[in-house]
Amino acid sequence: MATTETGAALGRQIVEDAKKYVLYSWSVQDAINPIAVERAEGRYFWDYDGNRYLDFASQLVNVSIGHSHPKVVQAIKDQAEQLATIGPPMATESRSRLGKLLAEITPGDLQMSFFTNGGAEANENAIKLARWYTGRHKIIARYRSYHGATGGAMTLTGDPRRWPAEPGLPGVVRMFDPYTYRCPAGHPDPCPVCTGGPHLEEILQYEGAHTVAAVILETVTGTNGIIVPPDGYLQSIRETCDKHGILLIADEVMAGFGRTGKWFAVDNWNVVPDILTVAKGINSGYVPLGAMVVRKPIADWMRDKYFAGGLTYSGHPLACASGVASIEAFQEEGIVEQAAATGEIFATELAKLAERHPSIGDVRGLGCFWGLELVKDRETREPLVPFNASGEAAKPMAAVMKRALDRGLYLMTHWNVVMCCPPLTITREELDEALAALDDALSVADEFVA
C-alpha cells in the first residue's frame, strides 16, 4: 500500500504519463486531471496520497456490488486458472450457467442471452435483431437517452453526445421523454407525452407503424437526469407496441440488477420487454460484459436462422464467471432487497436536503438510483448551469463536485443534476457519511441561487 512519499511520487508519475500517453473519453484532454487510484474495496477507493473517497457514483453507475467483492474476485481467479479464454463458438460452463441464471431472474419469458462486451454492443445487436425479426427498418428512441458510444448506439442516443458522430445510422426517429419536471408538452392533464401511448401513437401516425421495428428506451433514464417514468407510462408504451407489432427494447444497462430496488427496473411496473439489454451491474464491471436477452418467441424464431453477430471476446469465460458469481452474491446476500430498503432512506433524507437547500429544484429516484436537479430559481426552474454546459458555464457544478471531493465524496454529475448512485451494498453509516458531505457541497450550489 503506497501511502508514503514514494507512493505519492508514483501517483504523480501515473497522472503525468496518463496525460501524455492516454486519450480520455468525453474529455478535453488538456483539462483533465485524473485521480491516480491505488486500490478500492467495498464502497471506497484510495489514491496514492492515502486519501479515501466514498464512491457515491459507483464509478459509472456500474460497481453495484462494491469494489473487490471477494466472491467475484475469487471466481475470476478460479476461471483464469481453469480456462482463461476460448472462442465464442465453444461452450463453457460459466457462459452456460450465466445464461441460465439470466433466464431465471429476468421477468416473464425472457429466455436466451447473447453475450457482448458491454451495453453499447448489446444495444447494437438489439436493433439489428429487431429489424431482422420484424422486416422493418425504423427505430424510435427518446431525446433524453444514452445508449452507448458505438456507431448505431450513438445514433440512438438523443442527447448532444451524438452530435460529433453525425450523420449516423439511418432510420432513427425521436420521441419526447416523460420528464414531468420539464415536460415538453407542458404536462397538461392528461399529458400525452408523460402518459406514453398517445405521444407514441402520434409519431406512428406520421412515420407509419408498418415501418417501425422497435421502440428503445432506458426504463429509468440514467445520466440524463435519473428520470423515473410516471406509473402507467411503460404499460402504455407496451400496449401501443403490441397494437402495432413493434418490439419494445428496454435498455437496463444502468438501471438493471437491483439498481432501482428490483432486479430490473421494468419489474417496478410489471412490464416485460421483447428485448432486454444489460451490462454494468451484471458483474459490476469487474470484466467487460453485457448481454441482449430475448423473449421466447424471438428465441424460437431464431433457432433455424443464421445470426450475423458477435466479436472475438463475446461471452468471454472470465467475464461470464464474474457474472455468475455476482448474481449468486446478490441472491445470497439479499442485495436487491438492501437496495430497496436504502431507497426508502434516500427518499426521506434527500427530501430533508431539499428543505435546507434552495438550489434543489427536484428530487427523484428509486432504490440506489437518485438525482438532485439543481436550479438557480425554484419558481422559474432555471437550471443551475445551462443545458449541455461546458467550460466557464459549467463551473457552478464543478465547484459542487470539488467541495464534495475535498470532503472525501466522489460524485457524478451531468449538466445540472447530481447523481446519487452508490454501490447497492452501502451501509447506513456510510450513507450518513455521504449525505453529510453532500449537504456541505450543496451549500456551494446555494451561493448561485437568485
- Inform me whether the pLDDT recorded for 208 exceeds 70: yes
Residue 370, amino acid: W
Q: Model confidence at 299, in pLDDT bands (50, 70, 90)?
A: very high
- Inform me whether the pLDDT recorded for 29 exceeds 60: yes
Question: pLDDT per residue over 357-412, tens digit each?
Answer: 999 999 999 999 999 999 999 999 999 999 999 989 999 999 999 999 999 999 99
- Give residue for cell 451531468: 414
Q: Model confidence at 5, in pLDDT bands (50, 70, 90)?
A: confident
Q: What is the DSSP letter of 265?
A: G
- Inform me whether the pLDDT recorded for 338 exceeds 80: yes
Sorted by where each starts, the structural domains of the chain and their CATH numbers stand as 5-68+335-446 (3.90.1150.10), 70-333 (3.40.640.10)
Q: What is the mean pLDDT of residues 323-337?
A: 98
Q: What is the pLDDT of residue 2?
A: 47
The mean pLDDT value of the chain amounts to: 97
Share of the chain above pLDDT 90, in %: 96
Rounded to whole angstroms, how far apart are CA atoms 287 and 299? 26
Residue 247, amino acid: L
Q: What is the pLDDT of residue 228?
A: 98
Q: What is the pLDDT of residue 96?
A: 98
Q: What is the mean pLDDT of residues 153-167?
A: 95
Q: Are strands 138-142 and 417-420 parallel, antiparallel or unpaired?
A: unpaired
DSSP of 172-194, one letter per residue?
EEEE----GGG-TT---SS-HHH
Buried b (16+ CB within 10 A) or exposed e, 193-229: bbbbbebbeebbeeeebeebbbbbbbbbbbbbbbbbb
Rounded to whole angstroms, how far apart are CA atoms 167 and 174? 15
Q: What is the pLDDT of residue 412?
A: 97
Secondary structure of residue 303 in the 3-state scheme: coil
- Give residue for cell 500517453: 21
- Residue pair 400/413 in contact (Cβ under 8 Å)? The answer is yes
Burial class (CB in 10 A: 0-12, 13-18, 19+), 272: middle
Rounded to whole angstroms, how far apart are CA atoms 208 and 132? 18
The predicted model scores a pTM of 0.97
Q: Are strands 409-410 and 52-55 parallel, antiparallel or unpaired?
A: parallel
Q: What is the mean pLDDT of residues 187-195?
A: 96
Q: Kindly report the number of other CB atoms within 10 A of residue 357's CB atom.
A: 19
What is the grid cell recorded at 29? 484532454
- Residue pair 262/268 in contact (Cβ under 8 Å)? The answer is yes
Residue 200, amino acid: L
- Residue pair 62/280 in contact (Cβ under 8 Å)? The answer is yes
